[in-house]
Amino acid sequence: MAVPSGAREAQPPEEITPALARKNLLLGLALFGLFLALFAGTVVVALIYLSVAD
């Protein structure tokens, strides 16, 4: 069976170091903050629409 070009061999998983865990936690919190900002923006736009629609 032919191996597709550009395919890489599987690498063993990296050890979870405190620095990597901290980086992952900060990324997760940043993504959650982005979600909250988008959700709040949606609510604000809806409230503005409701106040202007009449």
Q: Would you kindly state where each structural domain of the chain is located, as residue ranges?
A: 30-54
What digits encode the pLDDT tens for the residues 5-48? 777 888 888 899 999 999 999 999 999 999 999 999 999 999 99
Which amino acid, one-letter code, is at 18? Answer: P
Q: Which residues have C-beta within 8 Å of that of residue 14, sequence separation ≥ 6? A: 20
Per-residue confidence band for 1, with pLDDT thresholds at 50, 70 and 90: low
The H-assigned helical ranges of 1-54 are 18-53
Six token digits for residue 49: 């629409």
| Predicted model pTM | 0.68
The tally of CA atoms less than 13 A away on the side-chain side of residue 51 is 6
Distance CA 28, CA 5 (A): 33
